[in-house]
Amino acid sequence: MRNIIEELTTSPIRKIANSAIDNKDVIPLWFGETDIITPSFISDSMKLALDNGHTFYTTNHGVPELVETLSQYSSNLHKKNITHDRIMITAAGMNALMMSAEALINPNDKVICITPVWPNFMRCIEIMGGKIIEIPLILSEISNTWSLNMDDIKNNIANVKGIYINSPNNPTGWMMDTKEQLEILEICRKNNVWIIADEVYERVVYDRKVAPSFLDIADENDLLLVINSFSKSWAMTGWRLGWMTIPRNTLALFEKLNEFNIASPAAPVQHAGITAIKEGEDFIKEMINKLSYSRNIAIKYLSSFSKVTLPEPTAAFYTFFKVDGVSNSEEFCMNTLLKTNVGLAPGTSFGQGGKNWVRICYAKSPELLEEAFNKLKPILD
């Protein structure tokens, strides 16, 4: 085995969750998914695709109607013409991230990762033999909000191959604004640095239709890969379908990579994706209403607990908070699980500096959340 693979760290969330994953008494707030089953109009469309004989290999680019549908959807959403040759179908966000790493990273290439962040792209960098430069978000004590450390980014940008930014962010709920995106784009253009923009939560926003995206401001030749997924917005985590938006004239390369990774997501799943995009807007609205309600519950409880510092989560479906007196978040989450049967995710999963932080995924029913917070109260208050 390659040493790099043996040395890869597995997620601390998994370590804790594995100890109790089959325990029905545990309230699982540790993983990043809603408890909503994929709506039946999407599932029915997959059944129909099977009945209609869509059981064969697809092209490496993806089912043409799905590519075309995403090209139109994305063009409308970002008020830019995003042509079909810039859309690459992938097996969800994870596969898009791995292909991005395969496409860009040579051994010892450095990549800036803005943390805290869902760690999987960092592991992709390591698999390719690249090196991570973590640049943590800054938490303003005055406004209690997160922002980019532009000075640190500028100081490191000349030495790196790319910068990975996930906004709306897992775990913090931070959402980058257009001004920050313009600044990053300008710095990266000057230094010939790739932007890997993980925008899988772009529709999980509460005060607008879609989060600010690098696609709003970049042009088709910028060194930009935008990662997207059906997992979160259409409640399709188990389906493994996503897409990436790539620069002009790079499609052939990604088609090659796709062939040697998975040779395309399952054909019937891609057909269901067409339906999700064409008919899914009402579902997204309904889901955001539910999430917004759950978000208010999470904020209400957490901001009332005396040991908790909670920066305002503006988007996605997580709260990331600091707990007074905790110095080992893994131990804290394990003990909390044993004492309360509530499953939390330790902050150490999301980069350095998470030792006294905890993440909760609040994409659960109000009843379950109320129960969880009442169980957590004696520990956090």
The CA distances from residue 51 to 46, 48, 178, 269, in Å, are 9, 5, 45, 13
The nearer residue to ligand PLP, 102 or 220, going by C-beta atoms, is 102
Give the Cα separation of 149 and 158 in Å (integer): 16
> Cβ 51 to ligand PLP, closest distance in Å?
27
Which residues, numbered 270-329, are part of the site for ligand PLP (CB under 6 A)? none
Candidate ranges 106-114, 229-237, 302-310, 359-367; the one touching ligand PLP (CB under 6 A): 229-237
Which residues, numbered 9-38, are part of the site for ligand PLP (CB under 6 A)? 32
**Which residue among 94, 272, 326, 380 contacts ligand PLP (CB under 6 A)?**
94
The total of other beta-carbon atoms located within 10 Å of residue 167's CB is: 27
Q: Is 332 in the site for ligand PLP (CB under 6 A)?
A: no
Q: Is 93 in the site for ligand PLP (CB under 6 A)?
A: yes
The nearer residue to ligand PLP, 92 or 380, going by C-beta atoms, is 92
Give the Cα separation of 120 and 96 in Å (integer): 11
Candidate ranges 5-13, 88-96, 344-352, 366-374; the one touching ligand PLP (CB under 6 A): 88-96
Tokens 């955001």 belong to residue: 288
DSSP H or E segment with residue 136: strand 131-136
Which residues, numbered 177-216, are part of the site for ligand PLP (CB under 6 A)? 198, 200
Candidate ranges 49-57, 92-100, 107-115, 156-164; the one touching ligand PLP (CB under 6 A): 92-100
The CA distances from residue 70 to 66, 67, 73, 145, in Å, are 6, 5, 5, 33
Q: Which residues of 184-218 are buried (b: 16+ CB within 10 A; e: fewer)?
A: bbebbeeeebbbbbbbbbbbbbbeeebbbbbbebb
Q: Is 170 in the site for ligand PLP (CB under 6 A)?
A: yes
CB–CB of 203/175 below 8 Å? no
The nearer residue to ligand PLP, 257 or 326, going by C-beta atoms, is 257
The CA distances from residue 169 to 93, 161, 319, 331, in Å, are 14, 22, 10, 24
The residue ranges that bind ligand PLP (CB under 6 A) are: 32, 92-94, 118, 166, 170, 198, 200, 229, 231, 237, 242
